[in-house]
Structure 1
Amino acid sequence: MRVIGVIPSRYASVRLPAKPLVEIAGKPLVQWVWEAASRARSLNELLVATDDERIARVVEAFGGKAVMTPPECPSGTDRIACAVKDRAADVVVINKVDTASLEAVTTVRDNVATANPGAIVIEAASPIFVEQPDAMRGKRVLVVGDTVVERYYHCDAAGIASESPMMRLRAMGRDDYDGGAAIVASHLAGLGARPVLVTSLAPDEDSDRIEERLETRGIEIRTPRQRRRLAIHSRYLADESKVFRVDEASAFPLDSQEQEQLASLIRSAARRAGR
């Protein structure tokens, strides 16, 4: 039985460009992921599906195997679909189907059916459970990741717009919630841990408000404030039903000095984690 593992690794990440190449404790992030996945003894082949030659070169330098995929792939699941479309396997595991789009999962299924109609397809979700919350009470827990503003506009459905057949909404209020790594740190604080959040914020009022909220929850924040602006996910609700969502984010590369600054914060916080 042949089992293939695929790690999607995108260079042009919206919130942290070149994230797979950020060095942590002497290794690029993609190498840490590769080495962890390599410990799965059931895998016959492990691939890194990337959109950039720089990532491919780094992967090959530490002994991994990279597969080039189109940069326009909209999600990691789509990238995996491209990577496996010409490879035969007896078992294909589509992970995180609880967060991937139905279209992306369907694309993977179709590609598998084309390459090997007899393959077993397993769809797996990635829920997070805490079996022993008391084990982390009082412990320092390091959280590293992007912070996102989850913004909700509460609207009144005012009818149909006059200029074209579309819904006209009247904004009645707005609520902002902390998303991404910030909400993970908040949940940990709620379980009694002492989270240390390393994240890149922006020099703006949204970031100031996030930092204030997190500090009131007992979260220690380490941020270089390198972002030009925060990523904002705006949802428009009418009668408590989500009508549509607008994502605002801008990609920008970190220079070598900024990468080292961020990596230094992570290393420093990691040395103190678990105490």
Structure 2
Amino acid sequence: MFGNVLENVRENEPIVHTITNHVTVNDCANIILAAGGSPTMADCKYEVEDVTSIANSLVINIGTLNGESTQAMLKAGKKANELGHPVILDPVGVGSSKFRDEFTFDLLKEVDFSVIRGNISEIKTIYKGSGTTKGVDADERDMVTDENIDETIDFIKELSRKTGAIIAVTGAIDIVSSSEKTYIIRNGHPLMTRVTGTGCMLTTVIGSFCGANSNNILEATAAAVCAMGICGELGYDKLEEVGGGTSTYRTYIIDFMSKMDSKILNGGAKIEIR
């Protein structure tokens, strides 16, 4: 189904330059390693261009913004564009503050993104130019359902057309789409929402998969979303066996990512293509 997407990550060990928030930085680094990549987490504006130059992809996560990090993100993004590296944006919490909104739209003007990954409220905010979020979580009124999925796909395809990026909306139902082709993905488990950073970790997995498959960004992104969801399912099954809680669950998600192979990925993917 996803061909050699995962094998390319394991074989090439892409360096993923990740400028992320300080809440999830350790988990993001660990899941990059588990996926088969190599993390570097430099966020100083004086070195991000050099670090980006030796990486294979760049992930920008705006979870904990400050004046220094915004400058670093802009410089790294422009350097990655210059080098032709995939750049992935995680617009955490966009819609929650004027500063965050203004910076997100500055980023979108200054940097060409290969992938934009967020929850439905974050993606709607980018699409509309304004919006609201429930902190870093999606507003329940925005949730993707079987009833509204067709209209959701329509606006996601339009956003992909406008930005030139693959759009990945994650939630109970995941959607990964270009302007022409859409993957609907139903992997994962609700308990994943009770672990801080699973979305951030997913974005870095996308960075790993895209770093090793830069000529196939749509399928690489869909494969990453499926892989993370499958890890959530397998991790929950293991959790039930041992009677563990959410901290143990986080560990199992990373564990199963490290054990992921093409057979597990292709066999477990629950997808529909439109």
Instruction: Indicate whether the TM-score tops 0.5.
Output: no
**1 or 2, which has the higher helix percentage?**
2
Normalising by structure 2, what TM-score? 0.29
Normalising by structure 1, what TM-score? 0.29
**1 or 2, which has the higher strand percentage?**
1
Answer 1 or 2: higher relative contact order, Cα 8 Å, separation at least 6: 2
